Amino acid sequence: MKKLFLFVALLAGLLAAAGAFARAAVDQSDPQALIRTATQQVLDEVRADAIAPGDIARIRGIVDRDILPYVDFRRTTRLAMGRHWRAATPEQQQRIATQFQLLLIHLYAGALAQLKPDQQIEYLPMRTSPGDTDAVVRTLAQTSGKPVEIDYRLYKTPEGWRLYDLNVLGSWLIETYRQQFNEKIDQGGIDGLIQFLTGRNEALTSRKP
């Protein structure tokens, strides 16, 4: 349970890192510089103006304005579905991607509330070459307790690096959801997964802050 809580609480890394890209000049040709600058800006923003866990409207505004251009949610969804992605119709793919994105937004809203004013991030050394198309930025997040490993996976596009996966304490977001998605599809098919995601989001939306 502790590992799951950290995974949810630190989903802010996947979304919050991107949220700052549009508000500052960030070198998108360097994956570590991109994550470092963006993450620090988000920490500064949270310290200055805390975000309530239930403030979905504000979170959605941040996502629509700043996050979507820099995080490839569709790639994340496709990889989480694995072989089932090809079996889905284009309409089903879009509905799943939309509902999965909304679920991550809900988790992001709660995650921001878990960030502490004394949060510190250490960036581990990494080597990249001009020919690399995939990279992992490894970090250690620490407050007053034991350091927590948080890794960011990005891939290179003509427009720059894009974030699509996150690892907390050895649990990659895509791998975690792939297991759950497979279970729901085995039980009720592609439409069963859509119903599950939709129901989960409706429950989170109706929950009072």
CB 38 within 8 A of CB 17: yes
* pTM of this prediction exceeds 0.85: no
Residue 142 pLDDT exceeds 60: yes
Task: Give per-residue pLDDT as tens, 167-205.
Answer: 887 889 999 999 999 999 999 999 999 999 999 999 988
Residue 145 pLDDT exceeds 80: no
The listed CATH number (1.10.3720.10, 3.10.450.710, 3.40.50.2000, 3.30.70.270) that belongs to domain 2-206: 3.10.450.710
Task: Please tell me the predicted confidence (pLDDT) of residue 87.
Answer: 96
Question: Please, is 10 exposed, middle or buried when counting C-beta atoms within 10 Å of its C-beta (0-12, 13-18, 19+)?
Answer: buried
Distance CA 57, CA 172 (A): 27
